[in-house]
């Protein structure tokens, strides 16, 4: 299996890794915990170790390049800032170590958005799309006229920090009332007092009053933020991804209703769940790897 690249997608709770073929097929999938609680240096070491393990020669697998997707503000050469991990200006070389393969560093959500364009719903003739993974945190990949839009400084798509209730609960970014403080997987779980948001969804479906309140507030926060985004950017389609989107109809049905209710004078955009599921980020990291390989080949 030589026609693959190594790929790692770093999330706030877990890291996903494996080998990605040109058509997006994932081989040798592996999941490891992200040691966020142990500090930024420990996370960097864990990411570097994962990359090294995947690129090390092994029987039957010889990756051609490596792609790494991480959260925060990212350039090709630095992880400039990540509130999730406390990173500031971490050089790409810190993640790739002594790896002697073409390598590329990219933003996790933007990379997942590229995968959505290449393999998912966003690639089916829709030119203006918001791809919104809802996991440990929330950020969006903005697609305008068929192309990803990063903004003037690379900050476009920070939907998770739209203040839905300006005097609300504190967010890790330093603001109050951010969408992510109510609707991210971590926030939903913490506000109820369990480890995973899926447990809150299950309890809400069983009629638990407090779980229904926490989940209802999360859906309302999403509706408020997406109404704001819709009025500014006018997307034809909003694609939900990440672990929280696995709630399916428990999320999408009330969200569609509440979003429509927040847009009195215009129709709401279509809202769907990504068919790529939680693998979009890893597939996007694979695209980074293929791009790194093409760049090397193109310069030769």
- 147 & 54 share domain: no
- 283 & 269 share domain: no
- Domain of residue 235, residue span: 121-275
- Asked if residue 88 belongs to a domain, the reply is yes
Q: List b or e across 26-42, with b for residues whose CB sees 16 or more CB atoms inside 10 angstroms.
A: bebeeebebebeeebee
- Asked if residue 115 belongs to a domain, the reply is no
- 83 & 28 share domain: yes
Residue 36 phi, psi dihedral angles, 5° rounding: -60, -40
- 235 & 292 share domain: no
Q: pTM of this prediction?
A: 0.85
CA angle 172, 173, 176 (to 5 degrees): 80
- 152 & 75 share domain: no
CATH of the domain at 271: 3.30.420.40
- 215 & 291 share domain: no
Local structure of residue 267 (DSSP, 8 states): P
* pLDDT for the residue 24: 95
- Asked if residue 28 belongs to a domain, the reply is yes
From first to last of its 300 residues, the chain has per-residue pLDDT tens of: 679 999 999 988 899 999 999 999 999 999 999 999 899 999 999 999 999 999 988 777 889 999 999 988 888 888 887 877 888 889 999 999 889 999 999 989 899 999 988 888 766 778 899 999 998 889 999 999 988 898 888 788 999 999 999 899 999 888 999 999 999 999 999 999 999 999 999 999 999 999 999 999 999 999 999 999 999 999 999 999 988 999 999 999 999 999 999 999 999 999 999 989 889 999 999 999 999 998 854 333
CA–CA gap between residue 266 and residue 3 (Å, rounded): 48
224 neighbors 163 (Cβ within 8 angstroms): no
* pLDDT for the residue 60: 77
Nearest to 74 by CA among 101, 42, 47, 46: 47
* pLDDT for the residue 80: 80
Residue 14 phi, psi dihedral angles, 5° rounding: -135, 160
User: What is the end-to-end Cα distance of the chain in Å, rounded?
Assistant: 24
CB atoms < 10 A from the CB of 275, how many?
A: 12
Crossing angle of helices 249-261 and 209-233, rounded to 10°: 50
CB under 8 A, 24+ apart: contacts of 90-98? 90/40, 90/44, 94/44, 94/48, 95/44, 95/47, 95/48, 95/51, 95/68, 95/70, 96/48, 96/51, 96/66, 96/68, 97/48, 97/51, 97/52, 98/52
CA angle 43, 63, 29 (to 5 degrees): 60
- 284 & 268 share domain: no
- 31 & 156 share domain: no
CA distances from 294 to 102, 194, 242, 300 (A): 9, 45, 28, 10
* pLDDT for the residue 53: 95
Chain position carrying tokens 């945190």: 137
- 175 & 84 share domain: no
- Asked if residue 33 belongs to a domain, the reply is yes
- Asked if residue 137 belongs to a domain, the reply is yes
Domain count, the chain: 2
SS3 250: helix
- 291 & 245 share domain: no
* pLDDT for the residue 296: 53
Q: Which residues contact 210 (CB under 8 A, 6 or more apart)?
A: 192
- 158 & 88 share domain: no
């Amino acid at each position: 299996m030589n026609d693959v690249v190594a790929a790692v997608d770093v999330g706030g709770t877990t890291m996903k890794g494996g080998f990605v073929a040109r058509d997006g097929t994932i081989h040798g999938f592996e999941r490891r915990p992200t040691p966020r609680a142990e500090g930024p240096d420990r996370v960097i070491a864990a990411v570097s170790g994962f990359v090294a393990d995947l690129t090390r020669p092994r029987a039957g697998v010889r990756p051609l390049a490596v792609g790494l997707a991480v959260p925060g503000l990212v350039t090709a050469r630095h992880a400039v800032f990540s509130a999730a991990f406390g990173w500031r200006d971490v050089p790409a070389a810190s993640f790739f170590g002594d790896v002697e393969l073409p390598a590329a560093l990219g933003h996790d959500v933007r990379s997942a958005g590229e995968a959505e364009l290449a393999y998912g719903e966003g690639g089916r003739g829709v030119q203006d799309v918001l791809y919104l993974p809802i996991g440990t945190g929330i950020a969006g990949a903005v697609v305008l006229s068929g192309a990803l839009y990063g903004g003037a400084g690379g900050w476009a798509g920070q939907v998770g920090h739209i203040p839905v209730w300006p005097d609300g609960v504190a967010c890790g970014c330093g603001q109050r009332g951010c969408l992510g403080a109510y609707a991210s997987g971590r926030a939903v779980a913490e506000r109820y007092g369990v480890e995973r948001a899926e447990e809150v969804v299950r309890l809400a479906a069983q009629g638990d009053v407090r779980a229904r309140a926490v989940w209802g507030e999360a859906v309302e926060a999403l509706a408020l933020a997406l109404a704001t985004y819709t009025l500014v950017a006018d997307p034809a389609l909003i694609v939900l991804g990440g672990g929280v989107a696995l709630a399916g109809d428990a999320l999408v049905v009330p969200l569609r209703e509440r979003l429509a209710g927040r847009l009195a004078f215009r129709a709401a955009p279509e809202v769907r769940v990504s068919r790529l599921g939680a693998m979009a980020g890893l597939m996007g990291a694979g695209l980074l790897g293929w791009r790194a390989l093409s760049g090397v080949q193109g310069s030769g």
